[in-house]
Chains A and B, each alone.
Chain A
């Protein structure tokens, strides 16, 4: 009985809905069924978000109690409570829609949550993104230093030369002789348009096969990600 509940029924449900979703792509008239299934999945995912919130509170609450990496955990929990209060503030404002000028101003300049996003979250994320080129440059430098076998050194050299040619080929180098600058431009186009494109398509083809294989394993019941 336990096996029926924990293994057989979940597998049957998964296979049925996966097969049905696949069928909706092959029979266009069934597309409406797919949109209903997607809506159901969104509702289930919303419940998963509640589990996520509980997980965050549990993990970081325990960190604070055990005094292990407690400072960042405290900052995270305080931020969590702060943003929650801002969201509640927004909610209260939207409930009292008759309150006139303040609400009109709120409507034109954005809600409090939008302000949090616009002036706190987005600048922080943009700053982090701006660091990415430096991280990559340092990683490339370290690659050249640490690769030890002949193959890996050759790979690192190809990586470096390709990166240099693509970067230089993109710069408006008017002081260089025409032959060099146009040669760099042509080399860059050949690298991006032929070599890189061919490699990318090959990888994407492999990824597509991997995705199909994963889905088919679930469809034929060989993989059971949601049951014992």
Chain B
């Protein structure tokens, strides 16, 4: 059993978090939908997808260089949640998004997400596996490949959701040059900094992991987002409380 204080705190946090997600998901399942905080990029994405589809174009979705099985798994799964939200509408209209990946495990997962969406619509014959493209095995060549795709693809919108580093600047710059509306969700601090000047809507930090709640509105995603906000509030109050306590006890940092 865990004996270290940090392990015990971690275990308690996981338990509280898990119970909160279960409770809020159950509440959402019962029909009590909370008001989600505003995330304009992801909220407007379904509308932009509809517009792209109406014009017979494809929506480029870059999932970045992360893979499933390592430290990037959660961020990659959040990117795949964005794909899942878009795939449902795409499958209904038979215009799949053009998904680019830089890790073979993500390739397989993304193909599976598309396959499931098409199967749910009873349209498995309409699925073209070329919709998901393994562009390169490392970030910079991947960015170069996506830039080429954006310059050739006839579209009005570009979405980036997943693991990116500074190479995201190249993709965003190409998108700006093509005059695309760009929506990005990234967790890495470097990519957030380089994307800020270029993209129209940027979801930073934990907003990236909330994308599923906006796009698919599944009770689990909505419940998880509410639990996430609650735990964050508790952490913020704790940090402020401990900071104040330290000041009052005369242990202020120099």
List A residues at the B interface (Cβ < 8 Å). Answer: 22, 25-27, 41-42, 44-45, 48-52, 55-56, 58-59, 62, 69, 72, 125, 128-129, 131-132, 135-136, 138-140, 142-143, 156, 159, 200, 202-207, 209-220, 222-223, 225-226, 228
Bound-state Cα–Cα, A26 to B14, Å: 11
Q: Is the CB of B107 within 8 A of A48?
A: yes
Q: Is the CB of B105 within 8 A of A58?
A: no
Q: Which residues from B are CB-within-8-Å of A27? A: 1-2
A128-B140 contact, Cβ under 8 Å, with A136-B194, A209-B206, A220-B22: yes
Q: Is the CB of A207 within 8 A of B134?
A: no
- Asked if B112 lies at the interface with its beta carbon under 8 angstroms from chain A, I say yes
Q: Is the CB of A210 within 8 A of B105?
A: no
* B12 CB to nearest chain A CB (Å): 11
* A167 CB to nearest chain B CB (Å): 14
Q: Is the CB of A142 within 8 A of B176?
A: yes
Q: A128-B170, A204-B189, A209-B235 are in contact. List 6 more A-B contacts (CB 8 A).
A: A27-B2, A135-B170, A138-B173, A213-B225, A223-B220, A225-B80
A49-B232 contact, Cβ under 8 Å, with A128-B144, A215-B74: no
30 contacts between A and B (CB under 8 A): A26-B11, A27-B1, A45-B67, A45-B69, A48-B104, A50-B104, A51-B107, A52-B137, A132-B166, A132-B169, A139-B173, A139-B194, A143-B198, A202-B205, A203-B192, A204-B205, A205-B232, A207-B209, A210-B228, A211-B74, A212-B13, A213-B225, A214-B74, A216-B17, A217-B21, A217-B221, A220-B18, A220-B21, A222-B21, A223-B221
Q: Which residues from A are CB-within-8-Å of B227? A: 213
The 5 tightest CB contacts between A and B, nearest first, are A210-B209, A222-B220, A206-B206, A52-B104, A48-B104
- Asked if B52 lies at the interface with its beta carbon under 8 angstroms from chain A, I say no
- Asked if B34 lies at the interface with its beta carbon under 8 angstroms from chain A, I say no
Q: Which residues from B are CB-within-8-Å of A159? A: 196-197
Q: Which of B7, B140, B205, B209 contacts A214 (CB 8 A)?
A: B209
Bound-state Cα–Cα, A87 to B115, Å: 35
- Asked if B91 lies at the interface with its beta carbon under 8 angstroms from chain A, I say no
- Asked if B181 lies at the interface with its beta carbon under 8 angstroms from chain A, I say no
Q: Is the CB of B77 within 8 A of A58?
A: no
Q: Is the CB of A26 within 8 A of B21?
A: no
Bound-state Cα–Cα, A222 to B19, Å: 12
Q: Is the CB of A48 within 8 A of B208?
A: no
Q: Which residues from A are CB-within-8-Å of B80? A: 225
Q: Is the CB of A216 within 8 A of B21?
A: yes
Q: Which residues from B are CB-within-8-Å of A228? A: 116, 119
Q: Which residues from B are CB-within-8-Å of A56? A: 134
Q: Which of B69, B74, B187 contacts A41 (CB 8 A)?
A: B69
- Asked if B78 lies at the interface with its beta carbon under 8 angstroms from chain A, I say yes
Interface residues of B in 105-160 (CB under 8 A from A): 105, 107-109, 112, 116, 119, 129-130, 132-134, 137-138, 140-141, 143-144, 148, 152
* A216 CB to nearest chain B CB (Å): 5
Q: Which of A48, A59, A142 contacts B197 (CB 8 A)?
A: A142
Q: Which residues from A are CB-within-8-Å of B232? A: 205-206, 209
Q: Is the CB of B192 within 8 A of A213?
A: no
A139-B112 contact, Cβ under 8 Å, with A45-B104, A48-B107, A52-B134: no
Q: Which residues from A are CB-within-8-Å of B180? A: none
Q: Write the B193-206 contact mask toward A (1 if CB under 8 angstroms, else 0).
A: 01011100000111
Interface centre among B25, B67, B74 (most CB of A within 10 A): B74
Q: Which residues from A are CB-within-8-Å of B204? A: 203
Q: Is the CB of A216 within 8 A of B14?
A: yes
Interface residues of B in 78-109 (CB under 8 A from A): 78, 80-81, 104-105, 107-109
A213-B17 contact, Cβ under 8 Å, with A135-B169, A220-B22: yes
